[in-house]
Amino acid sequence: MLPTYQRISGSQPSNPLLSVRRSFRSSEKCLILLVLLTFGFVCFGGFFFLPDNFGADRLLKVYKQLQRAGPEIFIPPPPPANGLLDGDEDPHKLNDREKLQEKIQKELPADFLEKPDLDIGRSEGPEFDNALDSGVLAPVVMGPMAGGPAGVVAPPQIIDEPDIKAASKGSSPGSVVSNTFNSNVGEDPDPAVREKRNKVKEMMIHAWDNYKLYAWGKNELKPLTKRGHSGSIFGAFDLGATIVDGLDTLYLMGLHKEFDEGRDWVERKFTLEGVGMDLSVFETNIRFIGGFLTCYAFTGDRLFLDKAKYVADKLLPAFQTPTGIPYALVNVNNGISKNYGWASGGSSILSEFGTLHLEFSYLSDVTGDSVYRERVQTIRSVLKDIEKPKGLYPNYLNPKTGKWGQQHMSLGALGDSFYEYLLKAWIQSGHEDEEAREMFDDAMQAIIQHMIRTSAGGLTYVSDLKFERLDHKMDHLACFAGGLFGLGGTTLNNQYSEKYMEIGEGITNTCHESYVRTYTRLGPEAFRFNDGVEAKALKSGEKYYILRPETFESYFIMWRLTHDQKYRDWGWDAVQALEKHSRTPNGFSGLKNVYLTDPQKDDVQQSFFLAETLKYLYLLFSDDSLLPLDDWVFNTEAHPLPVKGRNPLFRAAATSSGP
């Protein structure tokens, strides 16, 4: 064992191997100094002369600049003060902002926040005026441009000047993009109603600006922690779900700059390549394909059509099953598909595979490719021919055997939008898809008989049915059924019409009661009718509110069908509740318990809040000329699609040029 130290006596060590030199030679000192100087020179040169090699620092610098500049660039200015007229701006603030933006532009990279080029032209001629009488959207109809189709109809925009933005960057030859509408399109004659609509528009701006500031390109915003929400249905991959979901709402509200920003992101950044996770076929369809198709219908911009086709093609492998009933999940990289492990022995879910028809049928019409309609028509055939217990559709179906899973029926979660799409497929077809209407009426008669009930207090509700036993529970998701029954009762005058309207009004009232019986006046995720309780949540896991739109959807549809003032009153009450309890300085958040005086927020601004909740509230306070129900049908994510044979924006028989 060696000693830990050794005493050294005299001028020479007793063991030369253990000697320690206490200094370096002159040559060694020079060499070390040279190495240190060389290293310092490289670091100095790399930092000051090679900024592109230090990506993290570069991005950090950009981020810090945006943080400082964000409130000036992205957040709209406060209301006019000091006697300024509407449209005027404080010259001192204007000069400050110009100086700040000039400084930012000097410090940011040249290609940062690059926007698409837009050609601006002045509209004139009789075509511009005659279109206002079309009855579709009160739009401006344009003639042929750049070889495009004649009679291209612009979408519902509200701005103050008649300029037209055409031929957006990235559009294919012949496409026409028009963003301009007369400034009063969709405005209610009542100034008080217009003020309420403008409030909803301001809420949209608040939600969008903060998403843009803190989570741009991410799927959703966490407004409290001011970052992207990586736990969304689409995971941590930057698919821009809020951008795609919110684009058509921006367009309807006349928010042109914000729409152009979103379109530019879609063109440059949106892709499914390299997404290493299983995507929900249902969610991807209703949010992305539906969102892109609506933007294509509104604008005629081929970018959106190509993106819709690109996404749909990524989902097609999920349909490769023995029955043609698609799996719930698909890996868009390798096409491997599967179902959720919890879904009744590997079954597919009724509300998911039954909620593809509107988007896929319209996609076939506008691309000329029949493959999409063939896939959903196969689903329709299986469901039409299969034996249905008591005339009802259970929530689970095995895609391999074609047999039902467990006997659980619902007009809420797991079943809801299948029934919605039966009625709306018939509406979308211009009432030609009689098979869909027949299936809808048959299903509703079974639901009315076995699942619709009236509480002791006179509230109409639709209960889940599990193994022939009523659960006496209604999901918030089922609150869309008020509008569904209303549409069923007014779109076709038959022996069921009166009953449909009665149920539609009853369910909408019940959902309103579930709202006003909470402290926040926002509705719980589910509510029950038993043990003396009516329209109230009993379990802690049912008391949350995640900015859902279904109740507001029924308010909007029932308002359009009846013009009963109570629906607008209920909607405005909900707007005030959202402002009071869900609004934060950096967006909107869901609530964990709607029955508390000061509920904790869940820190998620759902993408459907922009796509659905705010859109339905905006339309509730708009004139009927904005998206008439005879000419448009809303998919289950509130993306409006044009009705065939009635709406000039149907844009059939276009040819796609690829993703």
Q: Which residues pair with 652 in a beta bridge?
A: none
| Residue position matching structure tokens 């179902």 | 339
pLDDT (mean) for 140-163: 34
Instruction: Extract the tokens encoding 409.
Output: 């029926």
Q: Specify the higher pLDDT residue, 56 or 149.
A: 56
Q: Specify the higher pLDDT residue, 500 or 105.
A: 500
Q: Domains of the chain by range and CATH?
A: 191-648 (1.50.10.10)
Q: Specify the higher pLDDT residue, 126 or 203.
A: 203
Q: How far apart are CA 447 and CA 80, in angstroms?
A: 54
Q: Taking a C-beta distance cutoff of 8 angstroms, is the pair 406, 396 a contact?
A: yes
CA angle 383, 385, 386 (to 5 degrees): 65
Gap between the terminal Cα atoms of the chain: 74
pLDDT (mean) for 246-256: 97
Percent pLDDT > 70 in the chain is: 74
Q: What is the DSSP annotation of 217-269?
A: TSSSEETTTTEE-TTSTTTTS---HHHHHHHHHHHHTT-HHHHHHHHHHHHHH
Q: Residue 392, Cα to own-chain centre: how many angstroms?
A: 31
SS3 of 167-186: CCCCCCCCCCCCCCCCCCCC
Nearest to 527 by CA among 576, 592, 580, 462: 462
In the DSSP assignment, the letter for residue 391 is G
pLDDT (mean) for 536-540: 95
Give SS3 for 524. Answer: coil
What pLDDT score was predicted for residue 253? 96
What pLDDT score was predicted for residue 199? 98
Nearest to 351 by CA among 263, 282, 267: 282
Nearest to 486 by CA among 433, 556, 392: 556
Q: Taking a C-beta distance cutoff of 8 angstroms, is the pair 581, 599 a contact?
A: yes
CA angle 226, 231, 232 (to 5 degrees): 95
pLDDT in tens, 564-577: 999 999 999 999 99
Listed in sequence order, the residues at least 6 apart from 465 whose beta carbon sits closer than 8 Å to its beta carbon are: 392, 408, 409, 410, 450, 451, 471
What pLDDT score was predicted for residue 553? 98
Listed in sequence order, the residues at least 6 apart from 84 whose beta carbon sits closer than 8 Å to its beta carbon are: 90
CB burial of residue 522 (10 Å; 0-12, 13-18, 19+): buried
CA-based R_g, the chain, Å: 30
Q: Taking a C-beta distance cutoff of 8 angstroms, is the pair 329, 340 a contact?
A: yes
What pLDDT score was predicted for residue 102? 60
What pLDDT score was predicted for residue 29? 79
Q: Specify the higher pLDDT residue, 352 or 8.
A: 352
What pLDDT score was predicted for residue 38? 83
Nearest to 407 by CA among 350, 458, 369: 350
Q: Taking a C-beta distance cutoff of 8 angstroms, is the pair 365, 377 a contact?
A: no
The H-assigned helical ranges of 316-408 are: 350-353, 357-367, 371-385
What's the pLDDT band for 62 if we cut at 50, 70, 90?
A: low
22-36, 193-207, 343-357, 560-574: which range is least confident on average? Answer: 22-36
77-86, 119-128, 649-658: which range is least confident on average? Answer: 119-128
pLDDT in tens, 615-645: 999 999 999 999 999 999 999 999 999 999 9
Q: Which helix (H) or strand (E) holds 406?
A: none
pLDDT in tens, 291-323: 999 999 999 999 999 999 999 999 999 999 999
User: Which of 267, 352, 359, 525 is flagged as catalytic?
Assistant: 525
Q: How far apart are CA 155 and CA 164, in angstroms?
A: 12
Q: Specify the higher pLDDT residue, 34 or 351.
A: 351
Please confirm, yes or no, whether 505 is among the known catalytic residues. no
CB burial of residue 455 (10 Å; 0-12, 13-18, 19+): middle
In the DSSP assignment, the letter for residue 529 is E
If you average pLDDT over every residue of the chain, what do you get? 83
135-149, 430-444, 480-494, 576-590: which range is least confident on average? Answer: 135-149
Give SS3 for 330. Answer: strand
Q: Taking a C-beta distance cutoff of 8 angstroms, is the pair 339, 209 a contact?
A: no
Q: Residue 253, Cα to own-chain centre: how many angstroms?
A: 15
What pLDDT score was predicted for residue 173? 29
Cα separations in angstroms, 454 against 447, 479, 513: 13, 15, 14
Q: How far apart are CA 576 and CA 455, in angstroms?
A: 29
pLDDT (mean) for 114-123: 36
pLDDT (mean) for 260-265: 98
What pLDDT score was predicted for residue 44? 67
Q: Taking a C-beta distance cutoff of 8 angstroms, is the pair 506, 479 a contact?
A: no
Residue 1 scores a pLDDT above 80: no
Tell me the one-letter amino acid at 504.
G
Residue 398 has phi, psi (to 5 degrees) of: -75, 120
What's the pLDDT band for 101 if we cut at 50, 70, 90?
A: low
Q: Specify the higher pLDDT residue, 104 or 198.
A: 198
Cα separations in angstroms, 594 against 42, 526, 543, 586: 60, 11, 6, 21
What's the pLDDT band for 36 if we cut at 50, 70, 90?
A: confident
Residue 172 scores a pLDDT above 60: no
pLDDT (mean) for 90-107: 53
In the DSSP assignment, the letter for residue 589 is -
93-107, 190-204, 217-231, 418-432: which range is least confident on average? Answer: 93-107
Angle between helix 550-562 and 565-577 (nearest 10): 150
Residue 641 has phi, psi (to 5 degrees) of: -120, 140
What pLDDT score was predicted for residue 27? 77
What's the pLDDT band for 67 if we cut at 50, 70, 90?
A: low
Q: How far apart are CA 612 and CA 610, in angstroms?
A: 6
Residue 607 scores a pLDDT above 50: yes
What's the pLDDT band for 11 if we cut at 50, 70, 90?
A: very low
CA atoms lying within 13 Å on the CB side of residue 77: 15
pLDDT (mean) for 576-580: 98
Q: How far apart are CA 245 and CA 611, in angstroms?
A: 5
CA atoms lying within 13 Å on the CB side of residue 275: 22
Give SS3 for 90. Answer: coil
Q: How far apart are CA 104 and CA 359, in angstroms?
A: 42
What pLDDT score was predicted for residue 146? 31
Q: Residue 155, Cα to own-chain centre: how many angstroms?
A: 19
Q: Taking a C-beta distance cutoff of 8 angstroms, is the pair 300, 152 a contact?
A: yes
What pLDDT score was predicted for residue 31? 80
Nearest to 470 by CA among 410, 419, 524, 526: 410
CA angle 268, 274, 276 (to 5 degrees): 135
pLDDT in tens, 212-241: 999 999 999 999 999 999 998 999 999 999
CB burial of residue 583 (10 Å; 0-12, 13-18, 19+): middle
What pLDDT score was predicted for residue 349? 98
131-145, 314-328, 566-580: which range is least confident on average? Answer: 131-145
